[in-house]
Each structure stands twice: as C-alpha cells, then as structure tokens.
Structure 1
C-alpha cells in the first residue's frame, strides 16, 4: 500500500484516538475518507489539508469522540532521513556572524537582549583580533554578554576557558553559567587547589571539561600556571583592576596577570574603562593587544599631553572602535528593550539599650588596645575587622564569637580564621586582603596576663548572654508588617529578603520572627544550609524535579534552587547571609532589608542587585537600620547612601563613583582603620571627611567628559541598530528551532507532536519543548543542543548517517503548515535531481562550513540553492528513485556554488586583513611619531639653551661648560636623526613580518564531503 494512503488504524494512531472513534467520524463524513470493500482508506494529503481547517469543536460534536484533546489533533508530518541529516548539518555548521551564534543563543535559559547579542557578535567578529573591551554601563548584563561568547566557544569545542573575577563574584559566575547556559565550571582557589595537588593532580588549573573560575589574587599568585594554560578564551570581570598596568610603580598584580595571559584571546568587562586618566585606556588596551597602540610615550604625546593632544580624542575614538564597545542604559531604554524600576530607601532608626551600648563600648575598646594577647600582640587585620562587624550585628553573634576566642586563649593560641567562621564569606575576605603571615617570633605568653584577659572576655560574654533583646531586632519585627503591606499596595509580592553578615544573627532572626508568628513563612540561605527545614525543602525539591533539567547534581547549587523556589512559591521571608545569596535571582521580591550593612560598597550593590535587576516589576524598597548611638555607623551609612548612591534612583550606584574603587575591600580596609583608631565623634568625622575627599578627587569631571566623547556613540544610530537586532534574534531563534524540530520529526518516528503548538512533542513518557521558561515551569525537557540531551543525540545520529543509494523524495506542499513558501510553490508538479555536500573551508585562524546544494529540474533549469533549502522544510516520503542522476549538470552546479563560497570567504578574509593591516600601520606610525617627538624635544631643548646663552653674564668657565652641554645635546639630536630612517625601516620590516603571519593564518584549505543525492518531486 502507498505511504500516502492510511488505514483506520494508522489514522487513529496519528490522531491519538481510538479506532472506533475514527470509524464513526468517517461514517458521519467528519473525516474525509473512502470505503473500499468494507474497509476505510484515507488519503494523507487530503486528510492533512482538511485538518488545517478544523478545530476541536468540529470534531467534539460527536458524542463518541469526547476523549479528543486539542493537543492530540496532530497528523505527524513525515520527514525523511535525508531531511533529518540535512538540517542536523545545517544547524551545527561552523562559521562566523549571526548564524554561528544562533546555536548558542538557542541553548540559553534567558531572554537575550539585542545589545547583549550585539556585544557578543562584536567580540566574535574577527578571528584575527586579540580580544575586546566590553564597557556597557552598569546594569546591562555584561555577564550575559561574556557568557554567550563562552557558550559559543564551548559549542566550537574550544573549551579551555579561564574566568578571572573578584573573589566575591566567583560563585555568582559559576551559578549564572550553569543556570542560564548549562555550562559546567570549577572554582580554583586556595583550598581546592591544595586538595587537587594532594590528590596528585600537578596542574589544578587544567580542566578541559569545565570553565575555570578564579580570583585576581589567586591567578596572580599562580601566574606561571595560568601562563601554561593554553587558553582558548580568558575573561577578566571588573577589568578596571588592570587599568594601571602601564605604571612602573605598583600594579604588580596587573602586570603578572597581563604577562601570564599575553598570548590568549581576552575579553575585558568593565563599566568604567576610563576613570582618572586617559592612560588607563592605554593600560587596558595593552592588556588585550600590546601592539594596538605604540608605546606609552607615543600614546601620551598624541592623546594626553603632547602638541596633538588637543584634538587627539577624535583620532583616539577611531582607534578604539575595533577594540572597545560601550552601550548606555538610556539607549537600551529608548529602544524599548528594558524597563527599569527604581530603588526607594527606607531608614529605620533605633537606639540600643544601655547594656547593648556598654557591651559595644567595652568590646570596641578591647579591640582597639595594642596590649591584648588575642589581638594586640600579633595583629591580624582581617580577624579584628570581622569581630568588629559581628559586634555590630547582634549581641547573640558576639557572645558566640567571644566564646570561641576564649577557647583559643585557653589553649594558649590567638584567634584564627576558624574562630570567626560565623561570618561565612571569611575565606573570600581573607584572599582579597592578602595578609601575609608575620615571620616574627612569637613572644612568650604572660600567664597572669592571659588569665586576666580570659576573665575580662568572660565578663563581656556574660553581659552579652544577659541581654535578652536587641533593639534593632525589635525595630524589625515592629516595622515589617507595615512595610510588607506597602509592597502589596504597590503591586508587589508579600515577600522580604533580610540580609545579615552573621550566621549566628541569622539564627537569632529566625527565632525572633518565629515568636512573632512567622514560623511557617521563613526560609534560610547560608553557606551550609544544614538546618532541618532546609533539608526537608531540599529533599522535597529533589523528589518533585527528579529526572528534570532543573537538577544539576551539585548539592550547593540545587539547595539554593530549592530554597529560592520555596521562597518564591510558598514563603514570605528569606533570611540570607552573603555567601548564601551569591548567584541567586530574586526579581520576584521587591523588599530588601539590610539588617547588617557591609562596609564594602560592592557587596551592598550585589545584595540589592539580587532583587533590583532585569525582570523586576515594581520599585525595590531598600531598608537600612541606623544606630542613633553609634556615630561611625551613621557615617558609614552616609557614605554608602550619599557618596555611592546605593539605595535610591533608577540605576543604583553610579558608574562614576563605584568605578573609582578597584577593589571594594580597599574601602572596607579604610573604614576599619577609622573605627579602630578614632575615639571621638570629632575624630570619626575628620577621618570620614578625608575618605570622601579622597574619593571625590578621583572623580574628575574632565575625565567623565572624555569618556563620553571617546566611548559613547550617537544615540539614534545605536537605537536603530538595537531595534533591528531584536527582530533578527527572534527570526534566527525561530528558524533554528524549526530546523531542530525537523530533525526530531525525521529521527523520532514515535514522537507525538502537539497540534496546538508544534514546539512541543511527547516521546517515551516525557514532554519536550524548545520553550525554556515553560519547560522549567512544567517540569518538561528543554529540547536544546547540549551534551547529554535528546536533541544532541538525534542530531549526532542524523549527521553520522551514511546514504549508500539514491532515493526519490516526494515533497507534499499541502502538508506544510508553517505559512507559504512562494518560491517553492513554483516547483509544484515538477521533478528533478539534487545533491547535497558539505564544504569545509579551513584556515589556521578559523573554520567555515557550508552546505552546497546542487539542484536541477528535468526541464534542464537549475533550482536556486536557497529555494531548494526551503523545499527541505516540506514533509516528504521516500520512494524508489528511478532513473540516473545527470552527473554533468549536478557537477557544474556544485562547482559554481563551491567557487562562490570560496570567493565569499576570500573577500571576508581580505576585509579582516585590511583591518589588521590598518592597525599595524597605526602601530608603526605611533612608534615613528614617538621617535620624531623625541627629536623635536631635543631640538627644543637646544634652542632654549642657546637662547639663554645669548646675553648671558655667566662666568667664562660656566659658559664653556654650557656650550659643551649644548654640543652634547646637538650630538644626541644628530644621532637620533641618523637613527631615524634605520629605526623606521626596522619598524616597517617588523610590521611586514607580522602581516605575513596574519596572511598565512587566513590561507584557505577547502574540502568537499558528499552527503546524499536524491531524485525529487513536488506534489
């Protein structure tokens, strides 16, 4: 029987209804069919066309077909193995530009914004570039931009990837890579490094199957191992930390990192590439490509302080265009791509009780003393600073910490990092502060003094334990209901996230809020989450998501996902520590409470950024507590509020101010030094005023203006491009999804595609979809090209298939349900032959792949390759071929197409070569100009000296000495002039050598692999 004729059983199978229902619908003429000798026969083409005009209601009018569901009204369009193979190759072609990026875009669990795709394409634009600087303003998702580039390199099997980030952002990066792009990563830091070395792994930075994430401090410490990494991609986040790399004094960490990553392609991420001096741009660009500009002196003379510097920004802007990209928030907003909400600050003032004040004053004075055994004899800035923070957190937290200090002293040992583990980002803080151990011999401990100190600390602890209530906590529970009510009035969820720096304070807040009736509404996040409730939430989450993509296998990541889901769906209050909240997104919550306020402004920004981010629907309320009896805390709040503008406005901390800080820990250190040394309010004010003045001095208005002139493009041009890019992304993703689903139809004959949404299908007990948000919400499988997924398996199977013989494909245009294919419809009723081959154009710099389609009709006309590619989207059946392929016609067509593609590749290579040639010319001109400037400087000095000699009343001996000095200067000038042409020739020769190497890297090596030959007919 022909494949185009169906029986009742086949129709029932296709419609997923019982045979009795099909029989009754056919007998009632509700399904078009023909009864032949007592048996019903159905024409597939007629049935498919008829079904397009029907709805569920048309069929459900029969009392016997009530079991038909809307999603079951699907006739599975038949796609041949050749079509599956064609599209499997089509969607995995290597290359450049938007098409190559579409596969990575389709795997993302995030709505990609056009400016982010624009930035990723900029980074991937040329295989010859050594890297780029992505400098979008704060809040535009540079992390997503870089992650998209990582995903693309991963898809290309270039997987030696290094991420260098601030220590406090390591976990956040790891989580974002997994959550949004399903990319595995490993954090390499001191402990994990040492563990791997103990296990016999000589090179802990080598992970070919994971993105390696490390901190600036640790990467610099292990610079030799970083250098040996042979990285395909290196990314520096908060890259303004490298901006002073050009300086001879200081910046040693930046120099080590720059040298260690010199040979590798790099992406630098920073919102503030230019903060204090134009030389910082030189520094950052030199990290990417040391030959983009000439040397430091030539840059300085052209753009900073030389005779050409006045109009230098015009030329500098042009020089920066191929290496630096910056998008502004207002451009994205004007393009209608992101709606920003605001931050609304609420300050809750409180006055501690007399006992709380006494405890704070006594312990603070103890920490300030230089003669204590625990802190004074061998000062450890980190431990002292954290004890101070815990002291300000709650009496319950400091009581526990005092106990641990007493225990250490009883063992005749000073407190260690483990003593203050209550502060659960202590390891990150330790790494960033980089405190070296003292080599001084330890002084013998005076036992009498030790006993007295332990007794003193016991008294403080007794006082802390005797304080049953904290006024800050009381203020929280009194104010919380009203603030939650206000959030609901604004249209937000009745939810609050409360941050504390102390795990012990976290436990206190749980008990406090439980006593107030919130027992069933609280959920916790910290570094361990070992409490009974968290374990129950985790196990319940695992059970509900078993077998789904939501389960990562990492207990830490899955615990966070479980807690966040519980908070989102069932709980009112999330109490989180810094460590617990790293890497989570809480855009469904619009109330954030800083129970403790970090001294590090970047940590405060990270906290608020958990809620105030893309996807937030209403303004975010930020609650801070202000201790009316603690002047230092008041000044810290003032600094974060007024100087760093963290708590109010649309964008939070401004680029200008936050960008002043290379490391937030430096501000933290300054604040610690103030509270450690200042005793009176006058002293505290003087020190904080000085800190604010130091920050203000770094915010140079001229530099801000220079940044705008150099890095900000004309708004209208950018906005138009972003708008058009939005449509391009949507179209590309839609097209790639369709092609992937064609492969699924060809390779999974048992799959049942849903009639009301062809992006979904059922297969072996699971529902698959290309809609990532819905997949997560419904617990379905996300159908995307990632390792270990069904999509990857079917694509591999289709690509590996070999076709030994030709077949005839009968394309059924009436079965195509995705709109009209006008050019394909012109082929209706025609037939011919086609061959598909894969052209691989390899160069040392990159590989391009194309499908070469050669198609001819029986009337002798050639069918355009784009038309025939669209024909492959039409359902088709295999039939016996019949006839012999017209080899000469197909060969001629294939040769012509191959030549066109090679010419296109040569043209693109020539464009890249022109850009690099121009860059090298600029580099040579910079060096030549610097040499010319040196000569001019010498001549100016000679001229000035001669002028001073004229009419001089100097004694004869001094005149002779000066003439000899001038003669020496003239000799130096003449030597420079003599060297000029030799030096220019050498520079040009060096440039030619570099150009030859670049040209060699673009040499084409094409190869053509036949895939299949078919006879085709269009019905």
Structure 2
C-alpha cells in the first residue's frame, strides 16, 4: 500500500525541469531508440548553456545526427517550448516527421505550398503558428526552398529552436547576397537559437565555417574581414591555429566513426556492387528517341516555362523506368489535356513529385497549358501507340536474370533471402509485382508506395491491426500503420519488397541486406537515402547493391559511372560515400546538371563531352584541400574521447534505469489493482513495460512519461498535492527488498516530521526545479536527504489524522539551508556560463582589434614594397604614378590609424552592451512552493 502523498512526491520528482544532464534522462527514458553515448554527449553539448545561440553537430556520417537533434527537440518540448522549426532538404521531410513521432512521440506538421495556402484560406494569419492554424502545436518541418520563400512569416514566430539538417547548404552564407537562401533565412531567423547538422561544415576554405557560425551567432567571430585577416593567412602561426581549434570546440562538436567503434557502440559493415547490363529492343530505343526529342523541343507550347524543368525531368524519369509506365503516363496526359485539365495527375506516377515540386518552387497544378497543347496531342498519341506495341521489356528481363545471382551473393555474405527493389514509378511497381509473381515468386511479394490503395496491402494492414489490437504498435495514423504493417510482413513472410521513393521514407529495413535499384535516381543523396534503408548501423551483414546499365543509352551509362566511380556510392565501408556527398554543393544541383545534359545533347559525342566536363568540375571540388583542413580544424583526436564516451554510456544507463524504476514504482503506487512483474505490469487488460525494446518484442505498451498512461499518472499524481492536510503516515520497513533501505534501519520504531517543497530557480532563458525534502525524528535527529527520500518510497498507510499537527519551523529552517545550497550551486553554474560568454566576447573584440592591427601592418608593408619598386623605375611618368600610389596608401594607412581608436571605443561599447544583456539573462528568481508536510512513523516489522 502507498499513499497519495508518496505518489505526488514521486510524480513531481519524475517531471522536474533542470539542467540538461538531469532533465535529459526523462527524455531518453521516453524515447524508442537505443541511445549511443556519443549521441547523448552531442545533445548535452547542444543544451549545455542557456546563453548559447546554438551549435554545429558535425559527427562523421552514419553516427545518427538525426537522433541527436531529435533528442534536443524532445527536451525542448518537455520544457513546454512549442515553437520548434526543422528546415531540411525536401526529400527528408517525411523521414524526419516519422522519426519524431515513432521514436520520440513528438507531433510534427510538414508545411508546403498546398497546406500553407489552405490554412490561410481557412483564416490562419500565419500557418507557421501551428496551434492557431491547425488546432494543436507541433514541430514545424519545411524545406529550405519553402522556408526562404516565406521569410516574413518565419520572422513573425518567436522560435525556441531552429534545426537545420544538411546545414552545409548554408555554408556559402559568407558570400553575402549571392547566397540567397542562406541570407533570407539568416534575416528571418536572426537571434533565434539554432542547431546545425552537417558532417562537412566546410568544403574549400575556412570562410565557409565562418559563415555557418555567423548564422548561429554573429558575435562569435569578428567581421568576415577580421576573420580572414586573422585565420585565413597563407602561413598561419601554430599558436593562432590552436587558438582557433579551442574556440571552435565551444560551438562545433565532431565525433569520429573510429572513436565510436572503439566504444563498441556501432559495427560498420561493407557494401558490394553488382551490375547487370541490358540493351533495349529497337522499338524501345525508338520510343525513347522520339519522346526525348519532344522534350528537347524548345518550341513546345504545352509546358509552361516556369515548370519546364519539373515536367521534362519527371517524364524522362518515367520514360527511363519502363515502356509500361510511360504508356500509362501518356494516356493520362492525353485524357486530361483533351479535357483542358492541368497535368498534375498525369505526373503522379512519379511518387516523389511533391518533393520535386517543392524543390523547384512549382505549384503542381500550374504545370501545363492544356489549350496550347491541343495541337500536340496527336504527337503524344503517336508515342502512346508505339509504347502499346512493345511486348518485351529488356530491363525487366535483366531483373529476372540477376535476381537469383543477387540472392546467392547476399546469402554468401550471411544475409537472408530478402530483397528490396526500388523504382521511381508506381506503374512500374505494379508491373514488376505481376512479372515476379509469374516467375516463381507468387505470394512472396509486398509493395510499398505513397498511398498503398491496392487490395493486398489493405488486407495486410487489416490483419496487422487485428494482430496488434490493444498494443502500443498501433499509432492510429493510417500511413504510419500501413508502413509498419508492410515492413513487418516483409520481415516475417515476404521475400521481396518493391518500393517507390515516397513509400520508403522513414522505414528501417536493416533485416534485409540486398537492395536493387531498378530505376536509378540522378540525385546522389536520394541514392544514399535508399541504400540507408538497409545499410545503417544495426545492420549485421554486408550489403549488396544491384544496378542496371542501359547499353543502349550513353547518358544513362555516364550517370552510373558518375555515381559509382566519382561519388563511390555502391562500394566500401558504411558512410564513406556521404563524406564525398557532403563535399559537393547539393544533390539537387547535380540532378539539374544531369537533366540539362539530357535536354541539350543530341548524340553520343555531345553526351561524353558534357559528362567529361561535369566530372572535371566535381573532381576539382573533391580534390580540394577540404579533408585535411576539416580534420585538422574540427577533429578532436584526444585519447580521452573514447574513455569519456564510455563514462557517458555507464552514467546514462544508470540514470535511465533509476528513472524507469521510479516510474514503475509510481505506477505501483497509483494502480493498486494492477498485476506487477519485474519491469512490467498488467492494467485494464494491457501489459505495460518501461523498456521499449521489451515492450515491442512482447507486443506490450511502452510506458513513457510524455504520453499515454505514463503522462496521465504524472499529471494525476501532481494534481492537488499542495492542498492535502497534514497527516500521519506509517511506513513499513519490513516489506522492501533486502538491503535496499538499510540506511533507515537506525530509525526503525521511531517517529517524526517531514516536509517537501519544490524550489524553482528561474532566469530569462531557463527554469531549474529541485525537490527539497527534509525530515527529523521526535528525538531531534535529522535525516539526511537520501534517508528522507528513501522513506517516502517505502510502503505506507495513512493513520488517523486527528493528532497530525506539527510545528514546521524546524523543517522550514532545514529546507532553507537546502534551498540556499541549491541557489549557490545555480549561481556557480551561472558564473561559469557568464565566464564562457565573456571569454567569447573578449575573443570577438580581439578579432576586431587584431584585424585593425594587421591591416595597418599590411599597408605599411605595401608602402615599403612600393617605395622599393619605385627606385628601380626610369621614366618620369612611372615615377610620378608610383609616388601617387604611395601617397594613396599612406592616406589610407593614416585614415585606418585615425579610425583605430574610435573603432576600439565602438567595440568596447558594443561588448559592454552585450555583457549587460548576458547579465540580465542570468538574473535568478528563486521561488519555493510547499507541497506537503506529514508526521511519520517507521514500523520495524
């Protein structure tokens, strides 16, 4: 038996707001993810100081920066901060949304052109304010392109945190107006706390890193000119270089795969490439040639100029997928255009059309002029007749040839006989399903796409819902449940899963180690995303990646060569390819370059020349001095890193275990009718487990503190606690695990008084809460805080409260001592924060001053060199010109020297103002709240 006082105490203890290391435990305990120590370390780094305007998390690829950022977002949500923004590449929006809800139970809303307009039409002033626009708060997810187009609306929201994924997209910010997206986002989000994620925050020079840091905090370094003058000199002194490294350690954290491997946290497997050549039939080649020439024709009236890239790209991708797919697309195009309807629905066979449209800034409904197309419909009908006449598909035949060989290869590497096949076309997907069923794979195939409206998928979902009825597996969101059902079906029953791009977002297929690219995207980041469905940490086996090479299309051959040889996507150790991907500007840009080649080139010679030029461009970027600069500046190679990560692991596990035990005890206190086991209990016909892995495997519900039954227990436990009267509680020392409460043995048979308070220490940017518990015996002995807290976890019963009066003055005195100690701790912490920020500002001011000194020295040297050169001149005119040049340099030097002291005054004044702002942000306001007081008796046996 337990009492209302105890459950209230424990509910408060389990939901305190605090400094990152303590508060993060709650978030981790409620997450469905195996947290690696480096990920906890990165989240703590991002949450370390309330004064920070943000950090860069630059772990090497494959180490789970998504988990790190999600952990930070979940912590902010736990602190009741609801203005959270995620800016990501368009292709990653759905994946982020699913990761947040499935792993951290965080609601999110993807904002794009269509639902943004709908919300405005429904009366929402600013759809970025999700609570007012959509009725509930949520993490907002949008693409870089969309965010930059909504600069004014973004700026109107007081964001608590902005996360930029693939943040190297912003690294040209230092170039000013030429980096339009970065500049717009900087203006819209200035002063908002930011978290930047990028494995490669600099590519060619340190100015790129300066740009990213300036987006976070414009006062971290001096001006760009000051930064270049101090750190971008050809022969940088060792002392300056080390000082730069030390400064970067406070804002940029990078962990290496090697370090994580040494902790035993992640095992990296390899990927192997298989290729299968095929040659299209004469009819297939003719169809390709005719449609390609049509798309290359600049005089086409049907496709609106603003959508030309989008429409021609999508039709080309469908054309490359299969003659069956292009036949269907042509039919839909003709039908819609004859009815003078927009072309959007005709392009939906390409399942990732929404992502592409967002990247291009094109409204899908505004792609084609149906009236102008009337004259071209007959041409499309001719293409369709040719497509109808094609009986055999050469690439499909190649799939049948290679599938058995690929299965054998995967099995030799230890994998299961399972394959995931990727296509970019929904029609091709259904054709492949039929083809494989007709060739020995009937009953062994599942399909996954953006809608899954087919009868087989619906039946799989229905059976899955029945199987998991009442369990925590069912989310209630049809799309998420459909994906979960199909992935489970693939794992347990099917042999082949045929996926489109949209269908595969956010799924984990690491139980499969064979991936077949039936259609190969041109965007290398999309390719890597696909491979990442199977080749991720947790994959036990080496992975086989199969690609097809079209020997009848030179451009297709060169695309494969670019992705395979130059970007190294298909072979090597996990993550190696991402290191290269991060060093190039963007996958979207590469896709655009390739599309332009397809649109321009009429013959093999032109194609080879264009691809040679494109490869030379990327080679120059990839061969740049990136790697050495990045490693030397960002990587912390201290021998203590691995030791530190191991300590973090032990500490995190202990904290989470303690938290889970307390949460289970709270359930025991508040659900006396439930049937309890070691880590789980049966309540209202459902099993609940505090360990998410065990809950999943046993089809139980995961008891997490931030939703469902766990959140209800915490809320009900805390409700009305402070209104409870003083009462007498009798605690039972006999009915506890042996030795667990040995610290209370000396008080057996005694009685006394106990009081609990909550102390809140609030600043402008942070709230830290503590529970203060004190108790003393009637004989005058004081229980230390550990003994008092343990007392409240013993089984107890409420006695008659008639004599439960007490003089709380002694308890208040003891609690005041505790509160003052907590206040002193907080002040020391604030002192550390202030020291860190003031040192940063000192460095910022020093940058500005040193830049002035360097500029004066440079001018002195230029004057000296110009004078020396002038002595060698022979003509009078040359001597006069040299004299004028020297005078100009001297005047500029004199102006800089005159400005020097004024500039130093301006720097000092700005530094003083910033320090005042920091001081105001750290001002502590303590507040104590009495929760309850009791008289206690400790029953010995």
Q: TM-score range by the shorter chain?
A: over 0.9
Check whether the contact 1:660–1:695 (CA below 8 A) recurs between aligned residues.
no
Change (3 A) 1:379 1:283: closer
1:906 counterpart = 2:834: no
Tell me, what secondary structure is at the counterpart of 1:282? helix
Change (3 A) 1:461 1:888: closer
1:274 equivalent in structure 2: 202
Map Cα deviations across residues 847-872 of structure 1 (whole Å, 9 max, x no partner): 11111122223443322212322333
Check whether the contact 2:303–2:368 (CA below 8 A) recurs between aligned residues.
no
1:699 counterpart = 2:622: yes
Check whether the contact 1:302–1:309 (CA below 8 A) recurs between aligned residues.
no
Check whether the contact 1:278–1:703 (CA below 8 A) recurs between aligned residues.
no
Offset of residue 456 of structure 1: 4.2
- Partners of 2:417 and 2:72 in 1: how far apart? 38
Tell me, what secondary structure is at the counterpart of 1:132? strand
Tell me, what secondary structure is at the counterpart of 2:497? strand
1:863 equivalent in structure 2: 783
2:134 equivalent in structure 1: none
- Partners of 1:170 and 1:252 in 2: how far apart? 21
Tell me, what secondary structure is at the counterpart of 2:580? helix
Change (3 A) 1:701 1:639: same
Matches within 5 A, 1:655-734: 655-700=578-623, 702-734=625-657
Map Cα deviations across residues 204-243 of structure 1 (whole Å, 9 max, x no partner): 1111411100000000000111111111110000000000
- Partners of 1:431 and 1:148 in 2: how far apart? 27
Query: Which of 768, 775, 793 does residue 712 from structure 2 map onto?
Result: 793
- Partners of 2:184 and 2:471 in 1: how far apart? 44
Check whether the contact 2:475–2:481 (CA below 8 A) recurs between aligned residues.
yes
Change (3 A) 1:986 1:596: same
Check whether the contact 1:840–1:850 (CA below 8 A) recurs between aligned residues.
yes
Offset of residue 445 of structure 1: 6.1
Map Cα deviations across residues 413-437 of structure 1 (whole Å, 9 max, x no partner): 8x84433221111121122134699
- Give unmatched runs, 5+ long, in structure 2: 132-136
1:847 equivalent in structure 2: 767
Offset of residue 941 of structure 1: 2.9
- Partners of 2:823 and 2:725 in 1: how far apart? 29
Change (3 A) 1:960 1:639: closer
- Partners of 2:371 and 2:824 in 1: how far apart? 81
Change (3 A) 1:186 1:898: same
- Partners of 1:478 and 1:948 in 2: how far apart? 75
- Partners of 2:177 and 2:185 in 1: how far apart? 16
1:932 equivalent in structure 2: 853
Change (3 A) 1:819 1:737: farther
1:923 counterpart = 2:844: yes
Check whether the contact 1:276–1:699 (CA below 8 A) recurs between aligned residues.
no
1:836 counterpart = 2:756: yes
Query: Which of 110, 114, 117 does residue 40 from structure 2 map onto?
Result: 117
1:90 counterpart = 2:18: no
Tell me, what secondary structure is at the counterpart of 2:415? coil
2:288 equivalent in structure 1: 360
- Partners of 1:277 and 1:967 in 2: how far apart? 34
Tell me, what secondary structure is at the counterpart of 2:934? strand
- Partners of 1:475 and 1:646 in 2: how far apart? 22
1:764 equivalent in structure 2: 684
- Partners of 2:861 and 2:249 in 1: how far apart? 35
Query: Which of 795, 808, 816 does residue 895 from structure 1 map onto?
Result: 816
Check whether the contact 2:271–2:545 (CA below 8 A) recurs between aligned residues.
yes
Aligned residues: 932
1:165 counterpart = 2:92: no
Map Cα deviations across residues 573-620 of structure 1 (whole Å, 9 max, x no partner): 211111111111111211111111111100000011111112222112
- Partners of 1:640 and 1:311 in 2: how far apart? 41
Change (3 A) 1:446 1:333: closer
Check whether the contact 1:775–1:782 (CA below 8 A) recurs between aligned residues.
yes
Query: Which of 239, 244, 268 does residue 316 from structure 1 map onto?
Result: 244
Check whether the contact 2:763–2:921 (CA below 8 A) recurs between aligned residues.
yes
Change (3 A) 1:935 1:630: same
- Partners of 1:314 and 1:1002 in 2: how far apart? 30
Change (3 A) 1:248 1:1007: closer
Offset of residue 479 of structure 1: 3.2
- Partners of 2:460 and 2:371 in 1: how far apart? 51
Change (3 A) 1:441 1:500: closer
Offset of residue 776 of structure 1: 3.0
2:520 equivalent in structure 1: 597
Change (3 A) 1:490 1:980: closer
Change (3 A) 1:803 1:370: closer
Change (3 A) 1:354 1:952: closer
Change (3 A) 1:818 1:969: farther
Offset of residue 890 of structure 1: 2.0
Between 481-490 and 470-479, report the one with greater CA deviation: 481-490
Check whether the contact 1:433–1:665 (CA below 8 A) recurs between aligned residues.
no
Change (3 A) 1:977 1:479: closer
Check whether the contact 2:269–2:573 (CA below 8 A) recurs between aligned residues.
yes
Check whether the contact 1:397–1:504 (CA below 8 A) recurs between aligned residues.
yes
Check whether the contact 1:370–1:377 (CA below 8 A) recurs between aligned residues.
no
Between 331-340 and 778-787, report the one with greater CA deviation: 778-787
Query: Which of 444, 464, 468 does residue 541 from structure 1 map onto?
Result: 464
- Partners of 1:660 and 1:434 in 2: how far apart? 25
1:432 counterpart = 2:351: no
- Partners of 1:594 and 1:440 in 2: how far apart? 29
2:867 equivalent in structure 1: 946
Change (3 A) 1:738 1:411: closer
- Partners of 1:839 and 1:408 in 2: how far apart? 67
- Partners of 1:331 and 1:226 in 2: how far apart? 39
2:65 equivalent in structure 1: 142
Query: Which of 693, 698, 721 does residue 773 from structure 1 map onto?
Result: 693
Tell me, what secondary structure is at the counterpart of 1:212? strand
Tell me, what secondary structure is at the counterpart of 1:245? helix
Query: Which of 152, 177, 186 does residue 100 from structure 2 map onto?
Result: 177
Between 283-292 and 395-404, report the one with greater CA deviation: 395-404
Offset of residue 996 of structure 1: 1.2
1:814 counterpart = 2:737: no
- Partners of 2:2 and 2:882 in 1: how far apart? 93
Matches within 5 A, 1:192-203: 192-203=115-126
Offset of residue 554 of structure 1: 2.4
**What TM-score do you get using the length of structure 2 for normalisation?**
0.94
Check whether the contact 2:176–2:183 (CA below 8 A) recurs between aligned residues.
no
Offset of residue 698 of structure 1: 1.0
Between 973-982 and 184-193, report the one with greater CA deviation: 973-982
Matches within 5 A, 1:358-757: 358-374=286-302, 380-407=308-335, 410=338, 416-434=343-361, 450=375, 454-700=377-623, 702-754=625-677, 757=678
**Structure ID, larger Rg:** 1
Check whether the contact 2:584–2:622 (CA below 8 A) recurs between aligned residues.
no
Check whether the contact 1:160–1:233 (CA below 8 A) recurs between aligned residues.
yes
